[in-house]
Structure 1
Amino acid sequence: MLIVDSHCHLDHFVGAEQEEVVARAKAAGVGVMVTIGTRLGEQAATVRAIADKYEGVFATVGIHPHNAGEGEVPDVQDILAEADHPRVVGIGESGLDYFYDKAPRAVQQAGFRRHIAAARQSGLPLVIHARDADADMAAILEDEDARGKFPFLLHCFSSGAELARTAVRLGGYISFSGMLTFPKSDAIRAVAAETPADRLLVETDSPYLAPVPLRGKRCEPAYVVHTAARLAEVRGLGIAALADLTTSNFRRLFARAI
């Protein structure tokens, strides 16, 4: 049985700890991990180096909405240049976060559109962060889809059902994190039950959001098996079937991850 952690931040683990985290993931059956970019430049180089170091680890490059205000809105060609690496399988994460509002919303939106353009031009899937921004997120996805299709994934889904439906209608995928296991996450589980089977992925977003029964611990990729088990329960599947399904979906979306 192979499970994919489609979204983690391995750069938060350093030295021997990082090696131990990757080893524990593989021992748990998590044979593929995607470590996510949050800035261009030095941080992008770090995630690429991590992907180069470990078998079964891949990377994405992009600017997180929290970091969108730290410099100029990135040029599409700059994003593409950072993604020109055999272990880079996606663009992002990018998107909108109106909960923390760490960057001006107009700047977040402009940067997000540049990342969409990079995904459209490269064919690499865009990893999208969306929090408390459902209306603007849906509007931008609709507008950009009309300009030309692009592959994308709403990661760590915590938004409303209408945004999920919009994403699916536009060809997007949806990934569920440890939040799916939280006692008060009935609305997220309802979205997970409704999402078409061929659009489902799982992730940890580690080192954040450790799932039940590991709440309060620092999350790591091995823990994705608990989220997968809960998603299997929601979908009425066995864990092996759920693992096969989400791995197949991952391979289809992240076609460079071979």
Structure 2
Amino acid sequence: MFDTHVNLHGEAFAEDLQDVLARARESGVRRFLAICDRFDNFPAVKAIADAELDMWCSVGTHPHHANDFTHITAEQMIAAAESNKVVAIGETGLDFHYGYSPQDQQVSSLLQHISAARALDLPLILHTREADDLMADILEEEFTKGAFRPLLHCYTGGAGLAKRALSLGAYFSVSGILSFKSAKEVRAVISDVPIEKIILETDCPYLAPVPMRGRRNEPSFLQYVAEALAALKNMPVDEVKEITEANALALFSKTGVL
């Protein structure tokens, strides 16, 4: 398995990161993608990835923090991505649920990330919450300027955004949310997404899957995400693992340069 979204640079894993990674490897996780949430955290994220042969990272700024990084340009992200360890741009996106950053700043940041992802031909990791229509509109408009590779991570959006993103060739990642009893709408949408366009993630330390809810999430719990997807798709879990790993390797193709 490839855990395509891990947040390892914060306090949650400060005391036992190596034990966490060891448990993940024992559970069958072969690769990790460490996510950059703020541009000023990129050195810390990259340092964690640099220390592990089976780990890569992204560069970007979460929409919650767009107001803190209004000066960040596509060119700065392109320069940061020169390292072979940087295999994706983001996470970026739109989140109008909390409103931590104004909408115009979120959109401006997203557009810079799209420009960087297009220029580098790297996957664009997208976070979307309560912004489905605008996200779809932006993706479609930006595609007219040149193709790029969207990944709608930890997907909880609606069927409309999913359909419009699929028409652009987007991938979708599923997390422990897929196993939540309350996530009927998420399962309904993902049931219609082709398995060839789905990858797995934990989004650790958040969103621990059933039966680990209430605990700190960690990459070793990716097994339960695979099981939830297998149950939804009525497929053997080993087949789901094989397909989603192949999908992730195809999407994050730069991992093959090491």
TM-score range, shorter chain: over 0.9
Give the alignment partner of residue 127 of structure 1, picking from 125, 128, 134: 125
Is 1:175 paired with 2:173?
yes
The 5 A counterparts of 1:1-258 are: 3-12=1-10, 13-41=12-40, 43-258=41-256
Post-superposition shift, 1:73? 3.9
TM-superposition CA deviations, 1:93-115 (whole Å, max 9, x none): 00000011100000000100110
Give the Cα–Cα distance (whole angstroms) in 2 for the partners of residues 46 and 40 of structure 1. 10
Equivalent position amino acid for 1:31 in 2:
R
Equivalent position amino acid for 1:54 in 2:
E
Give the Cα–Cα distance (whole angstroms) in 1 for the partners of residues 140 and 69 of structure 2. 27
SS of the equivalent of 1:223 reads helix
Equivalent position amino acid for 2:70 in 1:
E
TM-superposition CA deviations, 1:195-222 (whole Å, max 9, x none): 0121001101110000011110010111
Gaps in structure 2 of 5+ consecutive residues: none
SS of the equivalent of 2:3 reads strand
Equivalent position amino acid for 1:123 in 2:
D
Give the Cα–Cα distance (whole angstroms) in 2 for the partners of residues 14 and 187 of structure 1. 31
Post-superposition shift, 1:72? 2.2
SS of the equivalent of 1:102 reads coil
- Given that 2:39 and 2:69 are in contact with CA atoms closer than 8 Å, whether structure 1 keeps it comes out as no
SS of the equivalent of 1:74 reads coil
SS of the equivalent of 1:68 reads helix
Gaps in structure 1 of 5+ consecutive residues: none
SS of the equivalent of 1:204 reads coil
Runs of 4+ in 1 over 6 A off after TM superposition: none
Give the Cα–Cα distance (whole angstroms) in 1 for the partners of residues 101 and 231 of structure 2. 38
Aligned length: 255
Equivalent position amino acid for 1:206 in 2:
C
SS of the equivalent of 2:9 reads helix
SS of the equivalent of 1:147 reads coil
Equivalent position amino acid for 1:37 in 2:
C
- Given that 2:172 and 2:197 are in contact with CA atoms closer than 8 Å, whether structure 1 keeps it comes out as yes
- Given that 2:35 and 2:45 are in contact with CA atoms closer than 8 Å, whether structure 1 keeps it comes out as yes
Post-superposition shift, 1:57? 1.0
Give the Cα–Cα distance (whole angstroms) in 2 for the partners of residues 113 and 15 of structure 1. 33
Give the Cα–Cα distance (whole angstroms) in 1 for the partners of residues 138 and 214 of structure 2. 35
- Given that 1:8 and 1:203 are in contact with CA atoms closer than 8 Å, whether structure 2 keeps it comes out as yes
TM-superposition CA deviations, 1:41-81 (whole Å, max 9, x none): 3x101111111111211100101001100132421101111
Post-superposition shift, 1:131? 0.7
Question: Aligned-pair RMSD on alpha carbons?
Answer: 1.0
- Given that 1:92 and 1:128 are in contact with CA atoms closer than 8 Å, whether structure 2 keeps it comes out as yes
Equivalent position amino acid for 2:193 in 1:
T
- Given that 1:125 and 1:254 are in contact with CA atoms closer than 8 Å, whether structure 2 keeps it comes out as yes
Give the Cα–Cα distance (whole angstroms) in 1 for the partners of residues 37 and 214 of structure 2. 24
TM-superposition CA deviations, 1:80-131 (whole Å, max 9, x none): 1111111111000000000111000000001001100100000010100101
Give the Cα–Cα distance (whole angstroms) in 2 for the partners of residues 176 and 24 of structure 1. 21
SS of the equivalent of 2:5 reads strand
Give the Cα–Cα distance (whole angstroms) in 2 for the partners of residues 10 and 110 of structure 1. 27
